[in-house]
Each structure stands twice: as structure tokens, then as C-alpha cells.
A and B are shown apart, each in its own frame.
Chain A
Amino acid sequence: MNARKLIVGPFNRVEGDLEIKLDVEDGRVAAAYANAPLFRGFEQMMVGKAPEDALTITPRICGICSISQSAAASAALGAAAGVAPAPEGMRVAAILHAIENVCDHLTHFNLFFCADFARPAYAGRAWHARAVDRFTAMEGSGARACVEARAQILHIVGLLGGKWPHTLAIQPGGVTRAPTARDCVRMASTLASFRRYLETVVFGAPVESFAEIATADALVGWDKGDAGLFMDIAADLALGQMGAGPGRYMSFGAYPLPDGRAFASGLWEAGHLQPVDTRDIREDLSHAWMHGATAHPSDGRTDPDEDMSDPAYSWCKAPRLGGRTVETGAFARQVVDGHPAAVELAGRGSNALNRVAGRLLEVARTQLLLEQWVADIAPEARFMDSVTLPQTGDGEGLVEAARGALGHWIRIEDGRIAGYQIIAPTTWNFSPRDAAGTPGPVEAALEGAVVGDDEDTPLTVQHIVRSFDPCMVCTVH
């Protein structure tokens, strides 16, 4: 048997720091260990602060998903106070949040994921020249078009939220800015130009025709725009046969509106959909450099083990739902929401291609939602109700960030924060082993990946890891 050990990292083109240890046997990954080597201690800093400061501090966990963090903090505070935001405020918050998520998907597709296809290692493949033209890191034409389109659509966030990253507008009672009729016209025209970008560059066809794809075959067989180029490459490199996750998909449900969440919440496994019961969440610390016992986040704590003692190998805790790993992200969201092509793909098995396809589907569907929400804004309505935070209480804030399910749990005592715990999407996906020795989703997905004898940073490993779009700064915070 031919065995060796590899350390892959620092991983670039993922957000934050990531290092993966691999045991390789006979040209395949036998075991993988994901390490989040960056720890800042936000949960410790929150203790003793005024509860409303969570709105300013927690978004700074991440400069890429900061609106998601802000929405989760706001939801947790709202839950502690027992109030819902003003209905029009919910709509504006949904617009802010959805734009950030779409931007993240496009960044991932153009700047982080597809750049790997431009590598010299793939020279000679039929699609390589096109991949080099579109996706070369920092220079590809697709990468440039994406950066420009993103900057444009973020004008809407600028308009409603003052600035991005680190927008402050979302509050427990609603949003700080009531858009005027003129703002609405401006947002509609920005969305129209973004639609043009999606239709000419990303999908090569009307947004509706991509969003309404009904079967898995039609989705993976899409042949227009950069989405088509990706499907072409994915078929050739067999991305549909690598990176199997747990096959359990969890979503907290995205974009709360007065009549429910725009994308449904739930837990999907083998064709069965059931509600997510967050009381079943536990964070296992057996392989994290953390002191303390396995706990629900509402009474969990963050106390780093500065000796970094074995067998722990990451700052990341290991969240489990009902004792089991779950995968979260755009594909999970689309499966849970019941998109027919996504559900059919999920039924065929978990893989790297599905995760990227899920993001593309979501980009198309979200554009349609955004257009609707902007058209529905009633400028004369109230956008924020005043909220009195309790002296004592607790709250759970559940949202869907681009990368999946994000939860904040706050406990307030004597008007100050007494406990604050965060479980980010990548905490779920990149968790280390638990007490039972079960690897986290990405660790399991890497088992069996092909490693060439001359490779020390294996390409398949990179494809699989990046297919999850990890956000490591959110993971550990």
C-alpha cells in the first residue's frame, strides 16, 4: 500500500484561512481533517455589551456575508423582545439580504470556483481555451464582468443601507431608511441592468427560462452562457461524481416576509422533507480547541483551549442536528424549497456539481424575487417600529446566508448580553469530527478523492472544497 500525508493550505480563493490534512492511500484520500486556523473570539467580546451593539459588532465577523450576520443579530434581538419587524421593513431587509447573497454566488462562481479550470494542468481539454478567457484569476473576462455587475447591483444596497460592506440599516423593528418613490424607480432600473448582465453573460437566455428549468437533465445539460461553459467542464471532469456530502440538506428558510419565508425551511433526506427543530442542535467540542461540554447554542460557551491539546485539530466546533451532520447552502435551500430540478439532482446523489448548479438556480430565482419585491414597496408605509429590548430574555435569530443556515442565539441579563453564540453555515459544513468520530460534511466529501502521485495540492480536493464555498472567518468568528 502506498500511503502518504498531505497538508493542503493555505487555501486561497476561499474566504479566510483554511488548512486541510489528508491521509492518502493508493492515490485516494482515505481521511481528511479540516482546520479553521483563525480565531478571534467574537462570542466572548459580546458578553457584557449592550444588546443592540450586536447589530454593529457581529456583522464585522465577515466582510462578505455581513448583511447575513446583521439580519441574524436583528432577528435574535427581535425574538428576545417578542416583536416582528414592520412588514415593509421586512421587504426592504429581504432586498438588502438577497442582493448580498446573489453577489456572493457570483463571486464564488467567477472568482473562486471556476478560476481552477484555467489552470495549465487542464491544457489540452476541449474547453480549456474558453475557460482561460473567461475565468483566469483576476484577469478573465468573466471575472471582470462579474466584478462590474456586482458593483452595480450593490448600488441598491448603498441606496437602502448607506454602504456595503458592513451595512447598518437592518434593525429589530425594520430598516432605518424608508425608500421614496424615486428610490424605487432607481432600484428597478438597476435590477433591469443586472438582468441584462445575467441574460447576456451568465445564462445566455432569459432569466425565467433558467429559473424554471424542470428537470435535472435540462439543468446539467444547459449549454448557453458561462453557466453552459461550466456544465460542459463539469461533465468532462466528472464533478457530478465527486464530493458526496451527507445527503441531508438543512435550510432555516430565506427572506422572512409578512406571509412567510420566500424560500422554505426544512430538513430534506432521501426524498422526505420535515421541519427543522432547532432544539435538536448541539455543538460538539470533542475535536475543537475549546473547553466545555456539548451544548445547545442557547447555553453554549466559547472558551478556547490555548494549549490546543489533542485530539482536537480545529477552532471550529462541530454542530450536529439530532446527532447527525447536515449540509447547508444554496443547493440545500433549493432542494428544501422543492425546486424540481434540484430535488431530482439530490435524489441522484450528493456531489460537487450540484452545489454549483444550486447557486446558479438561486441566482436566477432571486432576480425574479427582487424584481417583485421592489415593485411591491409601498413608500408611504411604516418601515420601522420602535422596539424595547427586555432587561432579561433570550432570542434565536435564524436566517439563510449565501452559504447556508446561520443562527444567532442571544441571552440578555440585567440589560446586558450574558451569552451570545453563533453557528455559521461553514461551521456546519466544515465541522471537525464529533465524539462518535463522525467526520464533518466536507471531511466526508473528500474521502475517496483522487490524488495524483505528483500532486501536493490535488485539484480534485480543491474542486470539492471550493464547491462548498467555505467562509472561514464566519466559521469560527
Chain B
Amino acid sequence: MADIETFYDVMRSQGITRRSFMKYCSLTASALGLGPAFVPQIAHAMETKPRTPVIWVHGLECTCCSESFIRSAHPLAKDVVLSMISLDYDDTLMAAAGHAAEAAFEETIQKYDGQYILAVEGNPPLNEDGMFCISGGKPFVEKLKHAAKGAKCIISWGACASYGCVQAAKPNPTQATPVHKVITDKPIIKVPGCPPIAEVMTGVITYMLTFDRMPELDRQGRPAMFYGQRIHDKCYRRPHFDAGQFVEEWDDDGARKGYCLYKMGCKGPTTYNACSTVRWNEGVSFPIQSGHGCIGCSEDGFWDQGTFYDRVTDLTQFGVEANADQIGLAAAGAVGTGVAAHAAITALKAAQSKAQKTPTEPTNEEA
């Protein structure tokens, strides 16, 4: 193994205090859903393990994942991108350009063969032999395969790398293809979302560093600790959903009171992500809190599900709540997460006689 300094060494050389370091460890523990007992374990790992080399490559994408990543809550987490986790190659932020950059890429691959994590932002387009995304004179798909060969594992950042995202929307002109369909012989962690939450991104990396293994994944390959529950399960507007209080149109009285956005097309009931708990921009808010429904950006195919402002389902024979719950059940079943609690609560609610408006208009699903 190449001789690599530890995380703690790097932090010290950046002038990070011990106190700040310990605070980072406890924040990380809580972000990962681990108790205080794990803080020393994380600290120990950071002190003794060599920093993990990361190669970060960009395919068809919009850089929103990088943008999200560099503003995670704790300053040390930000440093993850700026130097701590050595970002040995990142074409958006690095110093070198042109041929020097390509040389750095090759050097990193060889030097850390079998040790590095390959972080992929965006995806390869396969149409026309990959000519829609050319990097260094070659199709991106070749660069991806080349970099994947010596990687310990692969992180698919965001909906692009995980599922295809908007550039794979019908008719998918470039045949944008998720990473796991191109690289089939390496462990892949999908961290979907458009973009994923910064703390989720740093949390995943820190977990792998601390425990030297990949986090537990759900059946879709997402880290269960962040994608184990629906937005709906922990939404602060959930009591209004249960009480049948909905926003009926933009900026109405219900909107001012923070009622449920289900009727405005919110996909919270079918979306597994940590937005309603971790929140965005250093815990300030999340889309539902800003009065706009969830669009389900951490779910496969969210871009081609009919309009974003239609209700999650057109099963009009059931009440609103039954709809949400059925969708919830189906989605939960798919990822193998327990739904007993939610089902029980909903059964209780169903027993209350409560006038529900039934959605009547069918959605305009695209053929």
C-alpha cells in the first residue's frame, strides 16, 4: 500500500484544533445515526487510518452534486472536498489543466491501485459510441471504465449516476446510462437525489472510512441509514395530512398555515430520502418547508412520471390517504423496509370518519 498520511495528520496540517476535530466526530456519529459510544471509534479511525484517495469524475451532469457537497454543515466536512479526503483528481476544482490534468489522473490511478474510491458524478451517454460526452479526446464511458478498474468501490453520486436523471428523460437522445449498467464488477453505492444532501454525501464517505466497509444498502443499493424512510414519514406537515388539511392552491390560507402539499403534487409519500430530517443548506429547510411539494428526485424515473404537479396516483376510488398509503406500501415493499407502524397509524385514521375530497381528474400520463 502506498504510504498515505492519516486524516488527522491532514487536519492538523490545516490548523484544525483537537476540539474542532472531536466535534466533527460527534456530528458525524449523530448524522450516521450512531450513539455517542461510537465517537471515540470514529476519532480513532480518523487518527490512525490513511486518508482515502478519491477520484472524482464528471460525465453527463450539471455539477449540482459538487455544489451540494462543498457546503455541508460542518466546516470540516467542507474540508473533505477541499483537501481532507484527498481529492486527488477533480476536474472542476483542481489546479492543473489540460495535459497536466490528464497526467495527474493517470498517476493517481496507478499510485493508489486498488485503494481508491471512484466517485462518479453524472453518467455516460452510450449513443453514437459515446460521442455526446468527450473528455480528453475520448468518450467519457472509456474514462469511466478505465478509472473503475483499479477502484476499491464506486460511489454513484446523485440521480444521474444512480438512475440516469433528466438527461435520460424520454426520448433519452444520448442514451444516458446509469453507472451500474456500465460497470458490473465493482461494489457500487448509489447516493441518489438531485442533488443528494451534502451531509448524506459526507456521511457515506466518513462511514466507509471509519468502519472500512460499505454501509448497509437497501435493495436498490442506497445506504439504508439515509434512505430507509420516506420523506412523508418524518415530514413536519404530516399531522396536516393525517387531519385532512391540504393546500388547495398556491398561496392560499392553507399554504400560509403550512398544510400538507399532497394535492399540489407532493411526492413525499413515495420518496425515500432524508430531506425531512437532515434538511438542506446546513439544516435550514427543505422543499416542502418552502411550500413546494417534493418531486421525488431520489427515486428512479422521477423525471418521467407525468407532471410534477399531479397527485402521486390516479387511483380515484380510494380516499387521498388510502392512496398515499398504498403507494407507500408498494414502495416500501420494494426496498424491504418495515411499514407496520405506518400501516397501523393509517388504519387508525381510516377508522375515523372524515370527509375526504377524492381526486377526480386523471393524470395526463405520457404515452
Contact = CB atoms under 8 A, between A and B. Distances in A.
Interface of A: 7-13, 15-17, 19, 37-42, 44-45, 48-50, 52-53, 55-57, 60-64, 66, 86, 111, 115, 118-119, 136-139, 143-144, 147-148, 150-151, 154-155, 157-169, 171, 173-178, 304, 306, 308, 315, 382-386, 415, 456-457, 462, 473
B251 A53 contact: no
Contact of B167 (A42, A49, A384): A42
Interface stretch (B112-120, B214-222, B281-289, B354-362): B281-289
A9 B98 contact: yes
Interface in B167-182: 167, 169-174, 176
Interface residues of B, number: 79
A64 B93 CA distance: 14
Contacts, number: 241
A308 B131 contact: yes
Query: Which of A37, A48, A386 neighbours the largest number of chain B CB atoms within 10 Å of its CB?
Result: A37
B291 A177 contact: yes
Instruction: List the 6 closest pairs (A to B, CB-CB), nearest first.
Output: A63-B64, A41-B173, A158-B281, A162-B290, A158-B284, A137-B95
A397 to B, nearest CB: 18
Nearest to B306: A50
Contact of B280 (A55, A163, A456): A163
Contacts of B166: 42, 45, 57, 60
Interface in B237-272: 249-251, 255-256
A384 B136 contact: no
Given A154-B281, A162-B290, A176-B250, A12 B91 contact: yes
Contact of A136 (B95, B132, B291, B364): B95
B137 interface: yes
Given A10-B91, A57-B303, A169-B292, A473 B82 contact: no
Nearest to B136: A10
Contacts of A118: 95
A97 to B, nearest CB: 15
Interface in B80-117: 81-83, 87, 91-102
Contacts of A42: 166-167
27 contacts: A13-B92, A13-B93, A37-B134, A40-B125, A40-B173, A40-B176, A45-B172, A45-B173, A50-B307, A50-B364, A60-B62, A62-B62, A63-B64, A63-B68, A64-B67, A111-B93, A138-B95, A139-B83, A155-B284, A158-B284, A162-B287, A163-B275, A166-B64, A166-B195, A168-B295, A178-B251, A304-B132
Contacts of B64: 60, 62-64, 66, 165-166
B100 A151 contact: no
A314 to B, nearest CB: 11
A158 B95 contact: no
B82 A144 contact: yes
B287 A52 contact: no
Interface string B156-199: 00000000011101111110100000000000000000110000
A174 B169 CA distance: 27
Query: Which of A40, A161, A167 neighbours the largest number of chain B CB atoms within 10 Å of its CB?
Result: A40
B135 A17 contact: yes
Interface stretch (B20-28, B70-78, B202-210, B333-341): B70-78
A190 to B, nearest CB: 10
Contacts of A169: 290-292
Contacts of A386: 249-250
Contacts of A164: 67, 280-281
Interface in B128-152: 128, 131-137
Contact of A147 (B78, B87, B128, B288): B78
B346 interface: no
Nearest to B194: A166
Query: Which of B128, B280, B297 neighbours the largest number of chain A CB atoms within 10 Å of its CB?
Result: B280
B38 interface: no
Contacts of A10: 91, 98, 101-102, 135-136
Contacts of A45: 166-167, 169-173
B6 interface: no
B62 A56 contact: no
A176 B171 contact: no
Contacts of A139: 82-83
Interface string B328-352: 0000000000000000000000000
A351 B61 CA distance: 31
A56 B249 contact: no
Given A41-B132, A158-B280, A178-B256, 18 more contacts: A12-B96, A61-B62, A63-B195, A64-B62, A64-B67, A118-B95, A143-B82, A148-B75, A159-B284, A161-B285, A162-B285, A165-B67, A166-B195, A168-B292, A168-B295, A176-B250, A176-B290, A306-B127
Contacts of A39: 125, 132-133, 173-174
A16 B286 CA distance: 27
Given A37-B133, A138-B83, A154-B71, A15 B290 contact: no
Query: Which of A115, A136, A163 neighbours the largest number of chain B CB atoms within 10 Å of its CB?
Result: A163
Nearest to A155: B284
A155 B282 contact: yes
Contacts of B249: 386
Nearest to A115: B95
B236 interface: no
A456 B98 contact: yes
